Amino acid sequence: MNRYRLQIDGMTCEACARHLRHSLESLPGVTASVSYPRGEAWIEAPPGTPTARLLDAVREAGYRGVVTRRGGEGSPREGSARIHIAIVGSGSAAFAAALRAVERGAEVTLIERQGRIGGTCVNVGCVPSKFLIRAAQTAWHASHHPFDGIARTPLRVERPRLLARQRALVEKLREKKYEEILASHADIRLIRGEARFTAPLTLSVSRAEGGEEEITADRILLATGSRPHVPPVPGLSETPFWTSTEALESDIIPQHLVVIGGSVVALELAQAFLHLGSRVTLVARSRLLSRSEPLLGERLAALLREEGMEVITHAVPTEVSHDGDAFHILLPHGTVTADRLLVASGRVPNTDRLALERAGVNTDPHGAVEVNERLETSAPGVYAAGDCTTLPRYVYVAAAAGTRAAVNMTGGDAHLDLSVLPTVVFTEPAVAEVGLREEEAISRGLQAESRVLELEHLPRAQVELDIRGFIKLVAEKGSGRLLGAQILATEGGELIQSAALAIRAGMTVADLADQLHPYLTRVEGLRLCAQTFERDPASLSCCAG
């Protein structure tokens, strides 16, 4: 017989202990002793009984359990049987899950097919892109700032030196936040290779150094991330186009860069290269930020054009070619020629080589793994988190999903609540949103109203001589409950979390208008916008309460 100790959460009385013992002993050959005062259960089970099944019995009884190796005087000997979790991927979702799982007593096998760990964010996404964006903004401000009396410095950028600093930052963060942390956890085993299902809870891994290894686990987490989408434009695949990965790794600044895309990555990188000195043409299939508040895309497009970017909306390339020196992009209105082409038209999940059908894992038509709020897939014992799923593709969503999946895989009951999800596009000014747009609120049957505060009414914007943008708040008529916020403003990403917390707390616009906000700050714009539900901001003193 195998012996286990489970730490149990959720029991409130001796009757709970009896109820849990009966639930555990309903399993074939299992005997159990449950202590309510100590919050633990000692179990004997026949060899071959999955530890995951024991945890399922605990959860089905209404409690939460974690298998541990801790013993006690007079208790069964400490056993080595622990829940085994295999995680495919090594990015934010995977690492968050691995760390929480070992905290809760599990053993983890981490499988990464790439040569480096850390996933998209630290290697080719968030970290290098935000470094480049801030560097580009610094260069632009030096030559375009509005302050008379301070010389405007001609733009001079040494991209190879900038790239060396960028790579050093990426390597440092990957080492500190991934490699060193992994090395410090003996309960996490890393396998470099590509995994695919051969059975519902069994993976075959083609190891990087050669050979195959079969891994059977109590639970499996899919956290394989995503990759850039390449649209089926005739001729495109035969050209040396960039995706975001190549753009961030290039040591050149194009003379003329064409960017295909109208959403987050396209906008961030298009403006970054514009600020670094490139002529930029942006081609978007629809309007900019087509899934966001329309005013955001309209106003951002106008600002980008003011900076010198050519923004072409509602256009799709019909053909792309490269003559050895230049790209030729055929559009409905004519041909655009450029020395570099960046394709940033979205991302696709890395699920096509996992043989998901052998495990019974369902996906949407785009290949994204379908999950519920507990991060469970359609296959028992298989969970998923991060960009390979149908969840919103943000690194903080991935990390939160990975953590909650780990709790659930080890016997807990955690749910991923995305009802208040702040988002940011790191342009300058930034685009930030949270909650409902006015049209969304109305479509859900709510009586909604909104107000827009132009930043010319924000004292901080006035003194910085930068009044570009606005703050829009959406509220429920009658109650005044805050439903959503949409922001176009410098450092808009710093403002949006205050709006998110206000929505989470159920605040009204009157509550927000009455809060104390430091003067002169940008976040004071939320208070001023809230006040516009009752008064005209032009009639207010600059620091009116």
In a domain, 140, yes or no: no
Q: Rounded to the nearest 5°, which phi and psi values hold at 166? A: -60, -45
Identify the domain boundary among 375, 409, 443: 409
Active site residue 16: yes
Active site residue 543: yes
Specify whether the CB–CB gap between 495 and 471 falls below 8 A: yes
Report how far residue 219's alpha carbon sits from residue 310's, in angstroms, rounded to the nearest whole number.
50
pLDDT at 80: 42
SS3 331: strand
Number of neighbours of residue 295 by Cβ within 10 angstroms: 16
In a domain, 495, yes or no: yes
Q: Domain check: are 338 and 210 in the same one?
A: no
Q: Domain check: are 246 and 337 in the same one?
A: yes
In percent, the amount of the chain with pLDDT more than 90 equals 88
Mean pLDDT of 503-516: 97
Report how far residue 285's alpha carbon sits from residue 531's, in angstroms, rounded to the nearest whole number.
38
Number of neighbours of residue 297 by Cβ within 10 angstroms: 23
Q: Domain check: are 395 and 432 in the same one?
A: no
Specify whether the CB–CB gap between 220 and 205 falls below 8 A: no
Closest CA to 493 of 299, 165, 264: 264
Among residues 1, 4, 13, 383, which one is catalytic?
Answer: 13
Burial of 59 (0-12, 13-18, 19+ CB in 10 A): middle
pLDDT at 51: 80
**CA atoms 471, 472, 475, 480: torsion sign:** positive
Query: pLDDT per residue over 281-304, tens digit each?
Result: 999 999 999 999 999 999 999 999
Where does the pLDDT of residue 545 fall: very low under 50, low under 70, confident under 90, or very high at 90 and above? Answer: low
* H-helix or E-strand spanning residue 93: helix 92-103
Query: pLDDT per residue over 102-114, tens digit each?
Result: 999 899 999 999 8
In percent, the amount of the chain with pLDDT more than 70 equals 97
Report how far residue 214's alpha carbon sits from residue 195's, in angstroms, rounded to the nearest whole number.
9
In a domain, 128, yes or no: no
**CA atoms 485, 486, 489, 493: torsion sign:** positive
What residue ranges in 218-266 does DSSP mark as E strands?
A: 219-222, 226-228, 256-260
Q: Domain check: are 367 and 506 in the same one?
A: no
Active site residue 529: no
Q: Which domain holds residue 378?
A: 85-121+167-228+348-409
Per-residue pLDDT at 75 exceeds 90: no
- What letters, b where the CB count within 10 A reaches 16 and e where it falls short, cover 317-351? beebebeeeebbbbbeeeebebebbbbbbbbbbbb
pLDDT at 68: 65
Q: Taking each helix axis from N to C terminus, what angle separates 264-275 and 126-144, rounded to the nearest 10 degrees? A: 40
Closest CA to 98 of 219, 225, 204, 8: 219
pLDDT at 139: 96
Among residues 1, 4, 383, 542, which one is catalytic?
Answer: 542
Query: pLDDT per residue over 110-134, tens digit each?
Result: 999 988 999 999 999 999 999 999 9
Closest CA to 97 of 317, 385, 334, 296: 385
Q: At a CB cut-off of 8 Å and minimum separation 6, what does 293 contact?
A: 433, 437, 472, 486
Active site residue 388: no
Per-residue pLDDT at 251 exceeds 80: yes
Identify the domain boundary among 383, 409, 435: 409
Q: Domain check: are 194 and 248 in the same one?
A: no
**In this structure, what CATH number is given to the domain that contains residue 32?**
3.30.70.100
Closest CA to 371 of 92, 56, 93: 93
Q: Six-digit token pair at 320?
A: 């792309």
Q: Domain check: are 353 and 223 in the same one?
A: yes
Q: Domain check: are 215 and 338 in the same one?
A: no
Q: Six-digit token pair at 197?
A: 């299902």
Q: Domain check: are 178 and 271 in the same one?
A: no
Among residues 121, 309, 388, 529, which one is catalytic?
Answer: 121
Identify the domain boundary among 57, 82, 107: 82
**In this structure, what CATH number is given to the domain that contains residue 269?**
3.50.50.60
Per-residue pLDDT at 541 exceeds 80: no
Report the Cα–Cα distance between both ends of the chain, in Å, rounded. 71
Where does the pLDDT of residue 76 fall: very low under 50, low under 70, confident under 90, or very high at 90 and above? Answer: very low
In a domain, 145, yes or no: no
**In this structure, what CATH number is given to the domain that contains residue 462?**
3.30.390.30
Q: Domain check: are 372 and 499 in the same one?
A: no
Q: At a CB cut-off of 8 Å and minimum separation 6, what does 186 contact?
A: none
In a domain, 144, yes or no: no
Report how far residue 71's alpha carbon sits from residue 203's, in angstroms, rounded to the nearest whole number.
32
Per-residue pLDDT at 539 exceeds 90: no
pLDDT at 543: 62
In a domain, 545, yes or no: no
Active site residue 519: no
Q: Domain check: are 264 and 336 in the same one?
A: yes
Specify whether the CB–CB gap between 363 and 381 falls below 8 A: no
Query: pLDDT per residue over 315-360, tens digit each?
Result: 999 999 999 999 999 999 999 999 999 999 999 999 999 999 999 9
pLDDT at 217: 94
Round the average pLDDT of the chain to a whole number and report it.
Answer: 94
DSSP 8-class letter at 219: E
Mean pLDDT of 196-201: 96
pLDDT at 49: 82
Mean pLDDT of 392-410: 97
Report how far residue 399's alpha carbon sits from residue 501's, in angstroms, rounded to the nearest whole number.
19
**CA atoms 422, 427, 430, 435: torsion sign:** negative
Q: Domain check: are 222 and 251 in the same one?
A: no
Among residues 1, 4, 11, 394, which one is catalytic?
Answer: 11
In a domain, 129, yes or no: no
Q: Domain check: are 355 and 217 in the same one?
A: yes
Q: Please give the model's pTM, rounded to 2 decimal places.
A: 0.88
Closest CA to 284 of 310, 314, 242: 314
Among residues 1, 388, 409, 543, which one is catalytic?
Answer: 543
Among residues 1, 4, 36, 63, which one is catalytic?
Answer: 63
Q: Six-digit token pair at 207?
A: 């190891």
pLDDT at 73: 32
In a domain, 218, yes or no: yes
When divided into structural domains, the chain yields a total of 4
Per-residue pLDDT at 263 exceeds 70: yes
Closest CA to 407 of 182, 83, 117, 109: 83
